[in-house]
Amino acid sequence: MTLNDMMETKPLAKEPAIDVAGLTITARKEDGGSVPLVKDISFACRAGEVTALIGESGSGKSLTAAALLGVLDAAVYDVCTQDLAIARYRATTYDAEALSPIRGRKVGYIVQDPGSALDPTMKIGDQLAELFMIHRGMNHSAARVEVNRLLDLVRIPNAAARYDDYPHAFSGGMKQRVIIAGAVALSPEVLIADEPTTALDVTVQAEILALIDDLRTTYGMSVLLITHDLGVVYQVADHVIVMYAGRIVEKGPVETICTTPAHPYTAGLLASVPDLSRSGAAIAAIPGNPPKPGQDQGCAFSPRCVRAQAVCTTDRPHLLQRAQSIAACHFPVTSGGHLG
Ligand SMILES: Nc1ncnc2c1ncn2[C@@H]1O[C@H](COP(=O)(O)OP(=O)(O)OP(=O)(O)O)[C@@H](O)[C@H]1O
Ligand SMILES: [Mg+2]
């Protein structure tokens, strides 16, 4: 076995699962102009951990995920990175085509709106079997054995008997398990899950999160979990990245982010999560809305921020190391979050 073979088969524990520097995504407009949507973000996801990417609707979470997988429509979006490492692929220049061989094989992807992820006219088992036949060169009967193992893995009761069912025979939670099965079929090192529990009721949500956490611990998978639900984050994440209007405003360990956040936006998100609030404390959603893409000035959060002063409306704060987290704020929250 050559050193290269060993590198291929043995994950290097220390190397981050995802390490991206200077990711910028711009949409081209028909009038020849462009809109910046994700602006120079840098982050790393440690191997074997769950990193949560959070932020309100429109903050750029799904675009970020799609860029990491090389699936953004090149006719619409321009993507740049200074450095991108994912599942041990590494490049200094962004190259969507070079990412295609790692998609599915090394990086599993649960897309945000999985409506079209399953073909309603095809048996569940056959849809999964195709992955093994195409990527592993298996014949149908060998693939069928793998599919049954996979359906078992994602805890579909009586898995072998469900092979021949069509998607309509599955509940929402069971369909999501099948989609997860598809994402992890080829034993990827990294799983990017974009809002995998959003459409599900609370009990099923908890089961799906437990399943994802199980895949992480049992198979050493690294997970980038995208959600706007801080309750979910608190349950499963190790690290948290907070996005606002296309930028990272804070990142740090889950304990810090959920107890002593430095950024008023993170603190505001926390205050609006019932389960994380002090009993009896009022649940306050953050008033106002994020700016439209391309229309922010200074700190994009300043129009909604109770701590904002004049400088916040003109000068964009840079990410700086705070006591526990890294945050971009001129007037960070210093004495604990609402749980502190
Ligand atoms: N082609 C485009 N032209 C202009 N704006 C776009 C284009 N594509 C996406 N956007 C905008 O980019 C922003 C980020 O989109 P993205 O889907 O990444 O948000 P998100 O954080 O995943 O939100 P959600 O929580 O709703 O899934 C949104 O405001 C979206 O409207
Ligand atoms: Mg999204």
**What's the pLDDT tens digit per position in 172-183?**
889 999 999 999
Residue 139 corresponds to which tokens in the numbers above? 């014949």
Would strands 83-86 and 18-28 be described as parallel, antiparallel, or unpaired?
antiparallel
List Cα–Cα distances, 156 to 159, 160, 176, 220, in angstroms.
5, 9, 10, 21
**Residue of the CA atom closest to atom 16 of ligand 1:** 60
Three-state secondary structure readout of 9-21: HCCCCCCCCEEEE
| Mutation probe of ligand 1 site: the residue of 23, 61, 195 with most atoms within 8 A of C-beta | 61
Return the half-sphere exposure (C-beta side, CA atoms, 13 A cut-off) of residue 146.
23
Q: Which residues contact 321 (CB under 8 A, 6 or more apart)?
A: none
DSSP string, 22-61: EEEEEEEPTTS-EEEEEEEEEEEE-TTSEEEEE-STTSSH
Q: Indicate the domain borders of the chain.
A: 16-237, 261-327
Which residue ranges have their beta carbon within 6 Å of ligand 1? Answer: 27, 35, 37, 55, 57-63, 76, 112, 228, 293
**Residue of the CA atom closest to atom 25 of ligand 1:** 57
Q: Which residues contact 168 (CB under 8 A, 6 or more apart)?
A: 120
Q: How confident is the model at residue 229, as a pLDDT?
A: 82
> Which ligand is in closest contact with the Cα of 293?
1
| Mutation probe of ligand 1 site: the residue of 24, 62, 111 with most atoms within 8 A of C-beta | 62
**Residue of the CA atom closest to atom 17 of ligand 1:** 62
Architecture label for domain 16-237: 3-Layer(aba) Sandwich (3.40)
Distance CA 192, CA 111 (A): 8
| Mutation probe of ligand 1 site: the residue of 53, 59, 79, 195 with most atoms within 8 A of C-beta | 59
Three-class secondary structure of residue 141 per DSSP: helix
Could you say which residues of the chain have pLDDT below 50?
1-12, 277-282, 336-340
Distance 63 CA to ligand 1 centre (A): 7
Can you give the pTM of this predicted structure?
A: 0.90
Distance 101 CA to ligand 2 centre (A): 24
Q: How confident is the model at residue 190, as a pLDDT?
A: 96
Q: What is the pLDDT of residues 49-74, one digit of tens each?
A: 999 999 999 999 999 999 999 999 99
Distance 247 CA to ligand 2 centre (A): 14
**Residue of the CA atom closest to atom 30 of ligand 1:** 58
- Classify residue 305 as exposed, middle or buried by CB count within 10 Å of its CB (0-12, 13-18, 19+): buried
One-letter amino acid for residue 244 of the chain: Y
Distance CA 242, CA 52 (A): 8
